[in-house]
């Protein structure tokens, strides 16, 4: 039952601190559900987490004890049901309510009447329900955006400061209301992409294909390494590295390795990938094709600062960051991120960037990227780095057959910025810098 699975995942994420994509994948793999029901379960999990703030504001007015004093199991059932009632047009109200009542009866038979009463009351009043004040739109725009789109106020505030109110609302709408977000991937094999896999291509990046779903064929291509799931913003960071024919490249913070694969595909003579978590490096190593093994080295360590060999032609720093640019994919982050995280991570990034610069040979390239839109992690970070390291200068991305027009993606300072509303991509920041020979 997709709703039961969604409730179970929601409890693991909100009560046990699990990551949504990992918890959901684990449950789906053992569920026995068909493709349609898996799709519904996925929609319910991510949709409920995305709109959790608004859902809780609605429930808080409907529950005598309020959200904080309501039993956690009942609260999860109610949250999933309210998401269906108010945010999903295709599910009849009776189906959402009846399934919630049945789930409540399984947990506590005496609670089924309580769940039924709360949900029917919300359904009757659905046309009058709001979780924000329209008067705040002009009087207190940050509060309006925060409540309307269920986003932490510090995130809404930074977006307004950077983009202005109208553009900030456009981006918040794309981050929250346009669910599910597109699943982008990059085809790594020779030849055309099979028609039954891709539904369309990004208008900003020819190599980015939108997957139709996770069919058995798609999963097989992923397992063999022919297909790499990678957002448009992330792929563009790889394109900024340019052609690497005969060059040595270092990926200092490899993670799951999407960009390391990109460096290999760009023709690097050798790619060294550094990642502190061995399980992630194992997953990356499994995707490296047999013929690429001689050009690839994976190292488990915090960072490549202890490297004592010859400097690299290209060093990529895809730095640890707040991840505020990927909240539409990891919506539980809204409940876990704090404004103080920005400064703490900016300090960490500065250290990594400074150390990484020592590993770039004269004339070589340093690419810095984060999946965040904050100035502290992006433009200000780069400006401080350039002040301390005058041997580097910002360089425009090289021409690339897959990128028709860099000017639609690069700002006046030479920085890559992608946005959900404008580019249908995660919010990435990146810059390419050259070590002056």
**Does residue 36 have a pLDDT over 90?**
no
Convert the pLDDT of each residue in 123-177 to its tens digit. 999 989 999 999 999 999 999 999 999 999 999 999 999 999 999 999 999 999 9
Name the residue with higher pLDDT: 187 or 385. 385
Q: Which residues contact 223 (CB under 8 A, 6 or more apart)?
A: none
For 111, half-sphere exposure in the C-beta direction (CA atoms, 13 angstrom radius) is 16
Q: Give the bridge partners for 274, in sequence order.
A: 299
Average pLDDT, the chain: 90
**Does residue 214 have a pLDDT over 90?**
no
Q: Packing angle between helix 52-62 and helix 112-124, nearest 10 degrees? A: 100
Question: Nearest-5° angle of CA 155, CA 158, CA 160?
Answer: 110
**Of 76, 79, 9, 17, nearest to 38 (Cα)?**
9
Cβ-contact 263, 251 below 8 angstroms: yes
Name the residue with higher pLDDT: 280 or 341. 341
Confidence tier at 307 by pLDDT (50, 70, 90): low
Q: Give the bridge partners for 209, in sequence order.
A: 185, 201
Supply the pTM of this predicted model.
0.92
**Does residue 76 have a pLDDT over 90?**
yes
Size of the chain, expressed as the number of residues it contains: 437
**Does residue 35 have a pLDDT over 80?**
yes
**Does residue 318 have a pLDDT over 80?**
yes
Kindly list the distances between the CA atom of residue 69 and the CA atoms of 73, 74, 176, in Å, as whole numbers in the listed order.
12, 11, 27
Q: Give the bridge partners for 270, in sequence order.
A: 248
3-state secondary structure of 415: coil
Cβ-contact 429, 379 below 8 angstroms: yes
Cβ-contact 67, 59 below 8 angstroms: yes
Convert the pLDDT of each residue in 220-230 to its tens digit. 888 777 888 89
Q: Give the bridge partners for 370, in sequence order.
A: 429
Convert the pLDDT of each residue in 176-200 to its tens digit. 998 788 889 988 876 677 777 777 8
pLDDT score recorded for residue 306: 62
CB atoms within 10 A of CB 22: 12
Contacts within 8 Å (CB) and 24+ apart, 187-190:
187/226, 187/227, 188/225, 188/226, 188/227, 188/228, 188/261, 188/265, 189/226
**Of 356, 428, 355, 362, nearest to 397 (Cα)?**
428
What's the whole-number mean pLDDT along residues 399-428? 94
d(Cα 102, Cα 109) in Å, to the nearest integer? 9
**Does residue 321 have a pLDDT over 70?**
yes
d(Cα 359, Cα 364) in Å, to the nearest integer? 9
φ, ψ for residue 17, nearest 5 deg: 80, 20
**Does residue 308 have a pLDDT over 70?**
no
Cβ-contact 7, 76 below 8 angstroms: yes
Residue showing tokens 């359904």: 123
Largest Cα separation within the chain, whole Å, is 75
Q: Which residues contact 435 (CB under 8 A, 6 or more apart)?
A: 357, 360, 361, 362, 363, 364, 365, 366, 391, 392
Q: Packing angle between helix 72-87 and helix 112-124, nearest 10 degrees? A: 30
Which helix (H) or strand (E) segment holds residue 236: the answer is: helix 232-240
Residue showing tokens 């360089």: 395
pLDDT score recorded for residue 90: 86
d(Cα 406, Cα 399) in Å, to the nearest integer? 8
């Amino acid at each position: 039952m997709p709703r039961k699975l969604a409730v179970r995942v929601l409890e693991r994420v909100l009560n046990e601190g699990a990551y949504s994509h990992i918890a959901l994948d684990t449950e789906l793999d053992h569920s026995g559900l068909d493709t349609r029901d898996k799709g519904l379960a996925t929609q319910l999990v991510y949709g409920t987490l995305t709109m959790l703030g608004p859902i809780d504001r609605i429930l808080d007015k409907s529950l005598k004890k309020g959200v904080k004093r309501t039993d956690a199991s009942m609260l999860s059932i109610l949250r999933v049901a309210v998401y269906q009632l108010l945010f999903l047009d295709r599910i009849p109200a009776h189906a959402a309510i009846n399934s919630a009542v049945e789930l409540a009866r399984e947990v506590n038979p005496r609670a089924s009447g309580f769940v039924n009463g709360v949900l029917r009351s919300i359904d009757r009043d659905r046309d009058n329900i709001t979780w924000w004040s329209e008067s705040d739109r002009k009087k207190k725009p940050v509060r309006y955006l925060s409540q309307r789109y269920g986003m932490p106020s510090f995130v809404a505030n930074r977006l307004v400061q950077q983009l202005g109110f109208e553009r900030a609302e456009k981006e918040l709408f794309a981050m929250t209301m346009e669910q599910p977000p597109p699943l982008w991937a990059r085809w790594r094999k020779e030849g055309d992409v099979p028609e039954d896999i891709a539904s369309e291509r990004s208008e900003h990046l020819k190599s980015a294909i939108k997957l139709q779903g996770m069919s058995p064929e798609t999963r097989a291509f992923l397992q063999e390494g022919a297909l790499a799931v990678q957002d448009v913003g992330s792929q563009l960071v790889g394109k900024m590295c340019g052609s690497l024919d005969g060059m040595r490249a270092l990926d200092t913070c490899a993670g799951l390795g999407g960009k390391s694969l990109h460096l290999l595909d760009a023709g690097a003579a050798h790619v060294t990938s550094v990642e502190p978590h061995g399980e992630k490096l194992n997953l990356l190593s499994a995707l490296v094709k047999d013929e690429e093994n001689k050009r690839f080295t994976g190292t488990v360590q915090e960072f490549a600062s202890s490297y004592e060999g010859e400097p690299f032609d290209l060093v990529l720093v895809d730095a640890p960051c707040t991840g505020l640019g990927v909240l539409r994919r990891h919506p539980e982050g809204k409940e876990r991120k704090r404004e103080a995280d920005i400064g703490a991570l900016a300090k960490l990034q500065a250290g990594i960037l400074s150390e990484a610069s020592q590993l770039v040979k004269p004339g070589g390239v340093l690419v810095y990227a984060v999946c965040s839109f904050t100035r502290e992690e992006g433009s200000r970070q780069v400006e401080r780095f350039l002040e301390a390291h005058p041997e580097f200068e910002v360089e425009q991305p090289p021409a690339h057959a897959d990128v028709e027009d860099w000017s639609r993606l690069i700002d006046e300072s030479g920085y890559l910025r992608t946005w959900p509303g404008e580019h249908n991509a995660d919010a990435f920041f990146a810059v390419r810098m050259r070590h002056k020979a």
